[in-house]
Each structure stands twice: as structure tokens, then as C-alpha cells.
Structure 1
Amino acid sequence: MKTLDFWFDTVSPYAYLAFERLPQALEGISYSVRYRPLLFGALLKHWGQLGPAEFEPKRAWTLRQVHWQARELGVELALPAQHPFNPLALQRLALACGDVDGLPNRRVVEALFHHVWRGGGADASDPARLQALQAELRPALDPQGGEVKQRLRALTEEAIALGLFGVPTIAFEGKLFWGLDALPMLRAAMLGDAWFDGPWNEVARPQPGVRRR
């Protein structure tokens, strides 16, 4: 059985769509998934980037595009009342519900994504909704406790060290696959496509000739 690491932040609609689409994209392949929460904002800060929803033209395009993609994929999606929002409480709750390995299972991650993207357009950060979600999930650890906070920091630092720059990112055998549209590429790699033994490294060799910062 092949093992994947699915790095996510619930603030990302692309992560939500990739989460929903993953079983269909990898149909027929035997695999297991470790769901790894991180803070997308920390990745952006590390690499000196703005998020796709942090400047207006791209924010508007992103929300239009994901709505269209959801329709094409047959995935239910309702945009939250505010976006971007602070996902910290949800990311901590994910880890507070961790299983034996300290990571959340698919059921927990699904509940978190649905809270944001199937909430009927409600505010994902609404305290009453967050309290109800926590009551539903019944975490074993305190989401505001030091152990959970440290674990989320450690996972985010691990992601940065691995070279992650966005979500969703799926790690497979040392290779990183970023974005919803990378799912077919991931499938090819998992099926042993020879391209990943040579061109994968070769095509990334050219160095940038211009740097704007």
C-alpha cells in the first residue's frame, strides 16, 4: 500500500476540492493518507507571498473559479460569508482530534472542510458555530492547549523545511504535488510513470534570469 501526506489548511477552497476529489482521482490504487494540518499564512510569510484572496482581482477570480470547478466536479460548495478568514481555530481543532499518530482522520477533516465550504454561506469563524463543531467532534485534547499549539507549529515548520509553498500539497515518495489540478500527475506517479524517474528533475534545472526582489 502506498502512503500519501495530504497537507492542508481549511481556508483553501482548492484544498477542499482536492480532498473531495482524491478518492475518485486515485480509484483503483491501494493507498493510505495522513492528513497534516498547517498554517497557510505561515507558508506565505516564509516565502514572501500574498495569498490568492489577499488582493482583489485575484480574490474575485479565485472564488469564481472554485465555484465553477465545484460545479464541474459535482462537489457541493457554498462560499463562506468572509474569505479569507483566520483558520487557526479549525487547524488546532483538527490536531486536538488526532488519532494514535496525532493526526486527524478523514472523518474529522471532512467535518472541518464541510464547516467552511458547506456551511450555507455562514461565517466559518463564528464562535457559536465553532463551539457546535467542537461539541460534535469531541476532541481528546484541548484545542487551545499548549500541546496542540506546539504540534501545529511543528507541522508548519516541517512543511516549510520540505519546501511546501501552498495548499493543498500531497507528498508521495519525496515528491510534492501542489494543487487540485495536480491530482492526475499524482496518479501517474503512483502508477509508476517513468517520467518521474528522469524529466521530473531535469525540467526544474533552469535558473531564474530575473529576480524582482
Structure 2
Amino acid sequence: MEKTLDFWFEYASPYSYPAAMRVEQLAAQAGVKVRWRVFLLGAVFQQYGWKTTPNELFPAKGNYMWHDMQRICASLNMPYQRPSTFPRNGMLAARISANYAQSPWIGDFVRNVYQANFADDQDIGNSELIAQILEKLGQNSEQIIAEANSDDGKQKLKQQTQQALQQDVFGAPFMMVGNEPFWGNDRLEQAIYFAAHGKLPASVTLH
């Protein structure tokens, strides 16, 4: 039986950056397949009556997050630059990710978009940048962008976001292994271990 991990992510989510950059490699080493599941956090915030992100609603939390991101990326030797604009519009990238989740290049696409946003401080809402990423991966950017922006393409992302809400995905990154939920970049290794072994490490127990 194939061992899988559903990786729920949002392109505007800072903590999804270090997780997305590592998940596929770590999972492969453990014999686990990653299923990329993009969704829109805005829909989650609306469900709780929030008009913006918690990090803007609670400035102290936001300040901590950026400081924490710097520490995390430094500890992983991962390039990081706080985006000069936050949050950026990742709608097009999300539509592409929802519609091409099964494509062999999707992991590289996700990582390139995250790097553009959180390492290179580029505007991932710029369709020309997204096209450049697709072309770099050897894909037909014009066709893919057109399909992602079609009515069916838009609906796919809406349906996937609704699925996230139904599964009580309340933040990003969020990992699901069967019915077992794991939230946050700091739970990535634990989620992969659970997917590989069907249980938590001996030092971790559920209560």
C-alpha cells in the first residue's frame, strides 16, 4: 500500500515556505509520496470572521513570526528575505497548483514560487513571473495559465479550498496522514514519520 502525505499549503503563508522546500525530499527518503494540496487561507479567515491575517490583527504575533522565520531559515541554511509586500497575491500560482497537482513538475513549480516570494522578494502575483517559472520547467506557460484562469480552473481551486475547510484545515502548512492532522513547519518531520511508520516516534505519544 502506497504511503502518502497530503501537504496543504498557501503561497502567502511564511511558515509554508521552509516546509514546502523540504517536504518532498524528506518524504522521499522515508518512502512517502507527497500529494500537493493548495488552498486559500482567506476562506479560513472569513470562516472565523477575520478580515485580514492573524499576524496583522495581532502585531506582536506578526513581529514574532518574521523573527522566527529568520531563525528557521538560518538554521536550515535556506535563503530568506522578508517580502517587501505582504501578503502577496498567489492566486494564479494557486490555480495552477490545484489544476496540475498530479503533474511531475508540480513540486519544482511550488518550490520556485516560494523561492521567488520569500528568498528573492519577487511579486508572485505577476503573471509574467509565473510564466517564466513555467517556461524554466519546460512547460507551455500560455496554455497552462489559460487553463488555470478558465472557469473550470478557478472552480478546481474553490473546490479544493472547500475540501480543506471540510477537513478542518485551519492554517498552513497543514499535513494530513489519513485522518491524523499535523499543523506547522515544526511538525513536518513528525508527519512524515507517521506516514512512513503508521505511528509516532517512541518519544511522542498521543493523549
Query: Normalising TM by the smaller chain, what interval?
Result: 0.7 to 0.9
C-alpha separation between the residues in 1 aligned to 2:5 and 2:91? 24
2:199 equivalent in structure 1: 193
Distance 2:133 2:27 in 1: 29
Alignment of 1:122-133 (within 5 A): 122-126=122-126, 128-133=128-133
Q: Alpha-carbon deviation of 1:193?
A: 3.0
Say which is worse superposed, 173-182 or 107-116, in terms of deviation.
107-116
Question: Alpha-carbon deviation of 1:99?
Answer: 3.6
Q: Using the alignment, how far apart are the partners of 2:133 and 2:106 within structure 1? A: 16
Are 1:54 and 2:21 matched, yes or no?
A: no
Letter in 2 for 1:94: S
CA distance in 1, matches of 2:129, 2:15: 22
How many pairs align? 196
CA contact (8 A) 2:190 2:200 kept: no
- AA matched with 1:122: Q
Q: TM-score by structure 1 length?
A: 0.79
Distance 2:101 2:27 in 1: 24
What's the secondary structure of 1:53's corresponding residue?
helix
Are the equivalent residues in 2 in contact too, given 1:3–1:32 (CA < 8 A)? yes
Between the aligned partners of 2:98 and 2:80, the Cα distance in structure 1 is: 24
Corresponding letter in the other structure for 1:124:
I
Give matches, 1:24-43, under 5 Å: 25-26=26-27, 28-43=29-44
How far did 1:195 drift? 8.2
Instruction: Work out whether 1:153 is the aligned partner of 2:154.
Output: no
Contact 1:34 1:105 survives alignment (8 Å)? no
Q: Which amino acid aligns with 1:177?
A: F
Residue type of the alignment partner of 1:75: M
Give the Cα–Cα distance (whole angstroms) in 1 for the partners of residues 127 and 192 of structure 2.
39
CA distance in 2, matches of 1:38, 1:122: 21
1:84 maps to what in 2? 87
| Unmatched segments (≥5 aa) in structure 1 | 204-213
Q: Normalising by the residue count of structure 2, what TM-score does the alignment of the two structures yield?
A: 0.81
Task: Work out which of the two has the higher radius of gyration on C-alpha atoms and give 1 or 2.
Answer: 1
Q: How does 1:71-150 map to 2 (within 5 A)?
A: 71-99=74-102, 105-119=106-120, 121-126=121-126, 128-136=128-136, 137-139=139-141, 140-141=143-144, 142=146, 143-150=148-155
